[in-house]
A and B are shown apart, each in its own frame.
Chain A
């Protein structure tokens, strides 16, 4: 480890995800304690495939800009780098460019001139096909081998980066690094590893801090301070109203992982089987014994694409006849809606379609039978979802079904009921269904094969501009 870091490498993690709300007072608190770098991821696959497939962010632009402004002010004032991974929610090129434009706009507004590195991890389909053809792409369960049709079905494919592209960008003098898709852990581990901290503690610190204050006890704060030392690491909240305990820190290894002890990363495995967690002061936990096992270099591929289109309708039902037999009503109505659709729209136009009815308030979340003896609810929300090849067809199905969805009786010889439509027009075109299509790893000899680094040096741009303007 470099001598200047005898007291440890300090990384400030301002929030679990850029745009979720950085707190100015927490940044001030951290900076006053001698932070060396600010690092945060800006997304994940958690919220589904749409953000990779469309290149759009889940967080709104204003929220991301607000957080970045606070971080860029700290960067300019203290001269420490900002490291952002999985930019724009999914880390594809469109997501990255969206984030880059916000940073450039802020630099202009703040009058700062950072040197910016853009790490691109989006993959060309032809390259993925070539790698696959060479036998270098391997499936992860539960998926099987990859075929070209699956690759073609993706709108965007990214490879999740490890620490190496970030270390190279830091070596190149970056003030701000905007990374494409990366493992959450790598974004936080990169700076300590660049400063030659031991890899086991650096990666484990990265895993611990990935969701910001989620590894703390009260969660009454956004960020944490990680300090990686020669023999371990420490973690503490950035807010002094909050604290870490051995339980809160060790329990975070469970989060969103299938294995709480071994975490596969590009180029190795973080093994925390022998890690020990101890309270070092009232708010800080010290972790020792984290190990890194180097492995041949692999990167995980993520691919997402748009599929069919959906249209929704929603009605509220308090009709006691329906509520007495929700399952029977669901079954009869669904059958009637299929029959109605087939009779109303010619088969050649209709194509393959799908209708589901989701009985919220009964079994909407699972779609499975409720336990016998479950009492009738006071009301249900019945959601109609039509899925078809185009938005027009999905809309047509909803239009054809609308009268039944509105009036279908629970008891056939009673007068027609009317259910509680919430909207007019009643149908809501929802757009495309997006799906992940890849869960594969690719073996590479060198990370540079799949990652491209671009530089924007605003100091240089400014000098040129000033020279031209005289």
Chain B
């Protein structure tokens, strides 16, 4: 089973304004980028399941020149609320590292 961490040299998450989180998946080369960037495992349903977002709003934009795909979703609660645990969403990427891609 190939996991995200096996085919990406770097994965990061970051807030994009108070209402959105954006994930950058940097694949370790063009081959794995081509093979996995559109994987059903990285579909909007994954982000709905892991982060409670509305799958209809998830954006998926590949950047072939950088062998990366950008996936963004609206936060379930806006940044900085009563139960905030990750103001910059900088640690949210960890949960996707073990997602199995095939």
Task: Give A residues with C-beta under 8 Å from B.
Answer: 45-50, 140-143, 247, 250-251, 254-261, 307-308, 310, 354, 356, 358, 364-368, 371, 387, 433-436, 439
Contact B18 A49, beta carbon cutoff 8 Å: yes
A310 to chain B, nearest CB (A): 8
Name B80's contact: one of A308, A358, A387, A436 (CB within 8 Å): A436
Q: What are 30 contact pairs spanning A and B, CB under 8 A?
A: A46-B88, A48-B87, A49-B80, A50-B80, A142-B54, A142-B74, A142-B75, A143-B19, A251-B66, A256-B14, A256-B16, A256-B22, A257-B16, A257-B70, A258-B16, A259-B59, A259-B70, A260-B63, A260-B70, A261-B63, A310-B82, A354-B82, A358-B85, A364-B85, A365-B91, A366-B86, A387-B82, A436-B19, A436-B79, A436-B80
For the complex with contacts A140-B19, A250-B65, A258-B59, 9 further pairs of A-B residues with Cβ separation under 8 Å are: A47-B88, A254-B22, A256-B16, A259-B72, A364-B85, A366-B85, A366-B86, A366-B95, A387-B82
Q: Say yes or no: A254-B70 contact (C-beta < 8 A), given A46-B88, A142-B57, A365-B85.
A: yes
Instruction: Specify which chain A residues have a CB less than 8 angstroms from the CB of B95 in the assembled complex.
Output: 366, 368
Asked whether, in the complex, the Cβ of B82 is within 8 Å of the Cβ of A433, the reply is: yes
* Alpha-carbon distance between A395 and B20 when the two chains are bound, in angstroms: 32
Set of chain B residues within 8 Å of A259, measured between Cβ atoms: 59, 61, 70, 72
**Contact call A142/B61, Cβ cutoff below 8 A:** no
What is the minimal beta-carbon distance from B86 to any residue of chain A, in angstroms? 6
Are B80 and A48 within 8 A (Cβ)? yes
Known: A46-B15, A439-B19. A434 touches B80 (CB 8 A): yes
A256 to B12, CA, bound (A): 11
Known: A142-B57, A254-B24. Contact between A308 and B18, CB under 8 A?
no
Residues on the B chain within 8 Å of A260, using CB? 61, 63, 70
Complex formed: what's the CA distance from A371 to B3 in Å? 15
Chain A interface main SS type: loop
Q: Which residues of B are in contact with A by a Cβ distance under 8 Å? A: 14-20, 22, 24, 54, 57, 59, 61, 63, 65-66, 68, 70, 72, 74-75, 78-83, 85-88, 91-92, 95, 98
Contact of B20 among A258, A371, A434 (CB under 8 A): A258
Which chain A residues lie closer than 8 Å to B19 at the CB level?
Answer: 140, 142-143, 436, 439
Q: Is the CB of A45 within 8 A of B78?
A: no
What is the minimal beta-carbon distance from B28 to any residue of chain A, in angstroms?
Answer: 14
A96→B15 CA distance, assembly (Å): 25
Complex Cα distance A259/B16, Å? Answer: 10
- Known contacts A254-B70, A260-B63, A365 near B20 by CB under 8 Å: no
Complex Cα distance, B79 from A77, in Å, reads 43
The answer to whether A435 and B14 touch (CB under 8 A), given A260-B61, A358-B85, A366-B85, is no
Q: How far is the CB of A450 from chain B (nearest CB, A)?
A: 19
* In the complex, chain B residues whose CB is within 8 Å of the CB of A258: 16, 20, 22, 59, 70, 72
Known: A50-B80, A142-B19. A365 touches B65 (CB 8 A): no
Min Cβ gap B37→A in Å is 13
Residues in A neighbouring B15, C-beta threshold 8 A: 46, 256
Chain B residue with the shortest CB-CB distance to A371: B98
Closest to B77 in A: A435
Verify B87–A254 contact, CB threshold 8 A. no
> In the complex, what distance in Å separates the CA atom of A250 from the CA atom of B63?
10
A225 to B78 CA separation, bound complex (whole angstroms): 35
Assembly CA distance A64 to B14 (angstroms)? 25
State whether A365 touches B86 (Cβ < 8 A): yes
Q: Which residues of A contact B79 (CB under 8 A)?
A: 45, 48-49, 436
